[in-house]
Structures are given as C-alpha cells and as structure tokens.
Amino acid sequence: MKTEIIRIDPVRPEPYKLEYCGAVLRYGGLVAFPTETVYGLGANAFLDNAVRKVFEAKGRPADNPLIVHVAYYASAESAGEFADGRQRNLFYALGAKFWPGPLTMIIKKRSVIPDSVSCGLDTVGIRMPSNRIAAGLLRAARVPIAAPSANSSGRPSPTRFEHVLEDMYGKVDVIIDGGECSVGVESTVLDLNGPEPTVLRPGAVTREDIARVAGTCGEYGWSSADLHVDKPRSPGMKYRHYAPKARMLMFSGTPDAVRRAILARLRAEKTAGKRVGVLETEEQICYYNEADVLLSLGPENEPRAHAQALFAALRQFDAAGVDVIFARALEAEGVDDAVMNRMFRAAGGTVLPAEE
C-alpha cells in the first residue's frame, strides 16, 4: 500500500491539510495522527471495514477494543449512551474538568458503532484529545474516529513521527508528521459503569484527580496477579505490552540497593557477552558507565519527564541492539503510577527485589 506522509504544523495546523486528512478518514481510509498522549491510528468509527483494517495494520488481537475519539460532546453521545442521569452527570463533570485531554471514559455503546470497535463488548471508550492536530482532524472528519495507538501490536506506543514510520509505513493511507507527543503515555482509561468510577489503565489524569471531581475512584490493580487473570476488565491489560525486543529486568528497593543489584547482574551479563542497557533517572545514571547504552528518564522528582521519555527510550534500546535492559521501580506517585505500569508490563510482569 502507498503511504502518504503529510507534515502538519503542531502549533498552527494548516486547515487545508486537516480537511484533506479528515476526508481520507471519513471515506474509510487509515490516518496515523499525533495526540497529546501517543500517536493514534484512526479510522471512521461508523465503518466496520475501515475499523477492521486498523486491526490488520497493527496485527492486533481481535478481542482488544478501540477507543473512539471525538471533537464534540454531541459526537460522544452519538457513539455512547448513559445508563442513567447519575452517570450522565459524572461524564459531563469529568469532561468539564479533563477534556479535551488524556482521559478515556467507558460508557454503554450505541448500536451504530460496529462490533469491530468494541470487540463484542456492550461498552465503548470515548476520548476528546487536546492536541491541536488531533482536534482539528476530528472536526474535519465530522465523524467519531476509532483509534488505538499507532504501533505494531506489542511494541512500545509511538510518541514521535519516526516511531510511526517504523511500524506503519506501507500499511496505512496517511501518516501525519506532527511533532512529539507532550504527555508520552496513553490516556487514563476510566470505567463509568460500576458503582464507582474505576481506573482500568493509569495515565496522566490520576486516580486522585478523578476522586476530586467524582468524590471517589477505584482502581484495577496492576500487580502480577491482576496481569495474569483470564478475564481482565480491560482486555488490553492481558497482553504483554510495550515490549522492547530486549529482556527487561526491573528491580525494586532503595536506590543504593538497586544499584548494587543491577551492577552485579550487569557484570554477569557482560561477561556472558551480552549487550546491556540501563534506564535510570538523571541522578542515578552516572553510576552505570559500564553499560553499553545509558538512557535517562529525566530528573528523579519529575514524573512528567519520565512519561515523556519512556517509550522513546525503549525503542532506542532496540535500535542499539541491546539484549538486556536494567531499570528501577520508582515510587508510583502521580503520573509515575502510569510510567511504572508500562515498565512493569514491558518487564513481563516481574519485579525483582534488590537485597539490602
């Protein structure tokens, strides 16, 4: 398939380019576009055939539903409906606070949305992104757009145009080159169908943020036990995800204990002829000069920087041909909860305790 690459200004998106890409989407084509979280791979959410092509391009399992993206509340209500007034009020209260932005809310699906979007579930996730290109594209498309992250299934989500090019060139109609994603991890997925709102996937909008608006907020734990259950609430949670090609070993403990554990293990791997990488904060990375590739997550106390750096770093380790990546489990405060969730899954669901 011929893939067209279209550069769009992230600050002042050119209207004629948005109109063109919007028309490609409306008439059933696939367009990869930037959002504030990660790049998405969009298709007209009303067209079953277009949605199926998304699964094909990504190699995505057929039981992992897509999020529907909208520019207006009216479009949200064309895709989903509310169980009752209470749920409607909650949806609008959370929307008023966090939309447009990195929050996906799950409500009951309307029948106009094909089963290929929801993978047979009777619910649908809806998100109104804030990125200017994404928002302009959705207005131009004039239909809700189903869009998963624009990576090949199982690979780290793309936070830069180059990542999308790597995974999607030749498989989609258009790739928009629209700069870097400011948040860097995927949206918070929030289920509104239970007795209290429940976070199914942590993101930049935290559980505390939600609880401040909703009064209460539950979370679906992401310990190894939850990762290995057969029927998770969010189908996406059961797949090994965000996976670099290298093996990732994640250690928990104090920075000192982790440093000793990593250095011992790192030397053993190097002796065995392996190429090793270390992913650490700016404060810690200087201790690992023996590693082949050192990548920083940014300052220890800046979770937002960690979120922005993570996926690009995982891809960079792959590009450098690293066999083993060492990393430390950070305190899951604020957005770091989302960052640790992704790292934990990249590590295959195991954290090794560093001995004191």
Applying CB under 6 A, the residues found at the interface with ligand TXA are 35, 37-38, 40, 64-67, 102, 104, 106, 118, 121, 123-125, 127, 147-149, 186-187, 189, 200-201, 234-236
Which of 351, 4, 355, 349 has the alpha carbon at shortest distance from 175?
4
For 349, phi and psi rounded to 5 degrees? 90, 20
The full 3-state SS of the chain, as one line of letters, equals CCCEEEECCCCCCCHHHHHHHHHHHHCCCCEEECCCCCCEEEEECCCHHHHHHHHHHHCCCCCCCCEEECCCHHHHHHHEECCCHHHHHHHHHHHHHHCCCCEEEEEEECCCCCHHHHCCCCEEEEECCCCHHHHHHHHHHCCCEECCECCCCCCCCCCCHHHHHHHHCCCCCEEEECCCCCCCCCCEEEECCCCCCEEEECCCCCHHHHHHHHCCCEECCCCHHHHCCCCCCCHHHHCCCCCCCCEEEEEECCHHHHHHHHHHHHHHHHHCCCCEEEEECCCCHHHHCCCCEEEECCCCCCHHHHHHHHHHHHHHHHHCCCCEEEEECCCCCCCHHHHHHHHHHHCCCCEEECCC
Query: Least distance from C-beta 111 to Mg ion, angstroms?
Result: 26
Query: Least distance from C-beta 157 to Mg ion, angstroms?
Result: 5
Query: Least distance from C-beta 183 to ligand TXA, angstroms?
Result: 8
Query: Least distance from C-beta 282 to ligand TXA, angstroms?
Result: 26
200 binding partner (options ligand TXA, Mg ion, none; Cβ < 5 to 8 Å by kind): ligand TXA
Query: Least distance from C-beta 308 to Mg ion, angstroms?
Result: 17
Residue with the CB atom nearest Mg ion in the bound state: 149
35 binding partner (options Mg ion, ligand TXA, none; Cβ < 5 to 8 Å by kind): ligand TXA
40 binding partner (options Mg ion, ligand TXA, none; Cβ < 5 to 8 Å by kind): ligand TXA
197 binding partner (options ligand TXA, Mg ion, none; Cβ < 5 to 8 Å by kind): none
Residues 115-154: x where in contact with Mg ion by CB under 5 A, - otherwise, as a string: ----------------------------------x-----
Query: Least distance from C-beta 195 to ligand TXA, angstroms?
Result: 17
Nearer to ligand TXA, 131 or 281 (CB): 131
Residue type for 272, please? A
Per-residue buried b or exposed e for 109-144, using 16+ beta carbons within 10 Å of the residue's own CB: beeebbebbbeeeeebbbbbbbbbbbbbbbbbbebb
Burial class of residue 247 in the structure, from the number of CB atoms within 10 Å of its CB (0-12 exposed, 13-18 middle, 19+ buried): middle
Nearer to ligand TXA, 64 or 252 (CB): 64
Residue with the CB atom nearest ligand TXA in the bound state: 236
Half-sphere exposure of 346 (CA within 13 A, CB side): 33
| Residue 159 touches Mg ion, criterion: CB under 5 A | no
187 binding partner (options ligand TXA, Mg ion, none; Cβ < 5 to 8 Å by kind): ligand TXA
125 binding partner (options Mg ion, ligand TXA, none; Cβ < 5 to 8 Å by kind): ligand TXA
234 binding partner (options Mg ion, ligand TXA, none; Cβ < 5 to 8 Å by kind): ligand TXA
Query: Least distance from C-beta 108 to ligand TXA, angstroms?
Result: 9
Nearer to ligand TXA, 87 or 252 (CB): 87
Query: Least distance from C-beta 287 to ligand TXA, angstroms?
Result: 34
Query: Least distance from C-beta 311 to ligand TXA, angstroms?
Result: 11
130 binding partner (options Mg ion, ligand TXA, none; Cβ < 5 to 8 Å by kind): none
65 binding partner (options ligand TXA, Mg ion, none; Cβ < 5 to 8 Å by kind): ligand TXA
Q: How many residues bind Mg ion (CB under 5 A)?
A: 1
Binding site for Mg ion (CB under 5 A): 149
